[in-house]
């Protein structure tokens, strides 16, 4: 039973073959034009195809969607630490022109890199389920501990702890929502890539199938894009 990807791949292959056949016909015609005294003064015609549109009717016979893989919590925790250092702290320091403050922020970033935020796996799961508040609270608390470990001058330049807590809470909340969505999207993409769609494309089977079970897909193929893809593939294999 063919898969939809195999059908589309076959169409692309036939497009390339059609182009090769047209080029071969042009090459064969060249000698005939040169030999004829009248035709020799004319340019050899060449068949060109810029785009090709195919309307494909098919019937889905089976869809296999794999179960999502278990979460790699260690990896997610590492990605969250990177997001805190590179996004949350960066937004926190926006608009601060004082060079000394920027150096203090760099020290805080280095402290968080040397001693990353350890997040309970349950908090990560809750964040991915939509409840990001516990993850944010834990992150802000740990970040403030790192601030307290800085020199008194650095703490003073970074501002009052109450204000810093408020700013961290705001930026971490914003980032946690976006972070959880990115992880969920990554899971969905991975699951979609592992799914398999079985299709029926044989004409007599389509004729016998109820109309409401048929699907239709219109595909436009750019010959230039196909040639560019083939060129890139050939170059990579050299």
What is the spatial distance between Cα 158 and Cα 211, in angstroms, rounded to a whole number? Answer: 68
What is the pLDDT at residue 203?
A: 63
| Dihedral over alpha carbons 226, 64, 216, 2 (to 10 degrees) | 60
The whole-number pLDDT of residue 202 equals 63
What are the per-10-residue average pLDDT scores of the chain (238 residues)? 69 76 80 82 74 76 76 91 90 79 86 90 93 95 90 87 91 94 89 70 68 76 67 55
pLDDT given at position 80: 94
pLDDT for residue 235: 58
pTM of the entire predicted model:
0.59
CB count within 10 Å of CB 161 equals 12
């Amino acid at each position: 039973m063919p898969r939809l990807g195999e059908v589309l791949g076959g169409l692309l292959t036939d497009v390339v073959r059609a182009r090769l056949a047209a080029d071969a016909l042009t090459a064969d015609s060249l000698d005939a034009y040169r030999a004829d005294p009248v035709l020799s003064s004319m340019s050899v015609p060449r068949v060109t195809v810029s785009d090709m549109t195919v309307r494909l009717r098919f019937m889905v016979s089976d869809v296999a969607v794999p179960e999502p893989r278990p979460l790699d919590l260690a990896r997610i925790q590492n990605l969250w630490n990177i997001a805190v250092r590179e996004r949350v702290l960066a937004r926190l320091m926006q608009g601060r022109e004082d060079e000394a403050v920027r150096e203090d922020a760099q020290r805080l970033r280095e402290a968080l890199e040397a001693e990353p935020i350890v997040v309970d796996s349950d908090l990560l799961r809750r964040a991915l389920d939509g409840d990001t508040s516990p993850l944010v609270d834990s992150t802000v608390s740990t970040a403030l501990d790192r601030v307290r470990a800085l020199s008194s001058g650095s703490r003073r330049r970074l501002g009052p702890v109450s204000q810093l807590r408020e700013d961290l809470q705001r930026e971490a909340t914003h980032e946690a929502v976006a972070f959880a969505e990115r992880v969920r999207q990554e899971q969905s993409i991975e699951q979609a890539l592992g799914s398999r769609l079985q299709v029926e494309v044989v004409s007599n089977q389509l004729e016998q199938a109820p109309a409401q079970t048929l699907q239709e897909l219109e595909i436009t193929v750019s010959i230039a894009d196909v040639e560019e893809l083939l060129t890139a593939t050939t170059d990579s294999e050299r």
